[in-house]
A and B are shown apart, each in its own frame.
Chain A
């Protein structure tokens, strides 16, 4: 089975622009979560989708948004980019509805650089 794929792998944008990142979960997985990884803040939870509904949201400003399509693919969007948005954005999928013992499978990430 193919793993979680994220596109693009690398992205360079300038301040003020917006960006859309894409995540294709493992086939059959319905839960998709997004995380931001930076050297200073570590791994921080952005949001989670299940069956096209956002179920959980982290403490990020409204510039960060996401959605999930009927085929479980997910996109996240960041508007009005700031230098501090430079990070590795990780997507994770799970076949289950999200019990505390359930496993998430991570993609390789999209490296976003904001200049």
Chain B
């Protein structure tokens, strides 16, 4: 079946450091890929998405490129801020006939000032 694997956390970085959170997936078809972010005490917010191979999703300085050949969708940001501290979830959806999103385990990011 479909699955998403992302790097274990927590990841601890200093402010202005470069961030990479790895995500790989297994899918039978051609899914869309997503990154969601969860701040303490809140639900998930969509950070970015990509719907086909080689698409790049970007938002708030975060980027991820849909790589079909490596089945990956790694999240990157060039310079993190303390306010980026949160849990990040990689997810996929094959979405035929409704929603049934598959999430990775989540990676907690701590950014120190």
Contacts and interface: CB of A to CB of B under 8 A. Distances in A.
A101 B67 CA distance: 16
B17 interface: no
Interface residues of B, number: 26
A56 B51 contact: no
* Residue from B41, B42, B89, B100 with most neighbouring chain A CB atoms (10 Å): B100
A109 B43 CA distance: 6
B contact patch SS: loop
B106 A103 contact: no
Interface string B78-113: 000000000001000111111111111110000000
A101 B49 contact: yes
Interface in A42-60: 42-45, 48, 50, 55-56, 58
Give the bracket for the number of chain A residues in contact with chain B: 20 to 34
A24 interface: no
Given A106-B44, A109-B43, A98 B49 contact: no
A108 B98 contact: no
A42 B32 contact: no
Nearest to B96: A100
B49 A90 contact: no
A98 B44 contact: no
Interface of A: 4, 31, 33, 35, 42-45, 48, 50, 55-56, 58, 90, 92, 94, 97-109
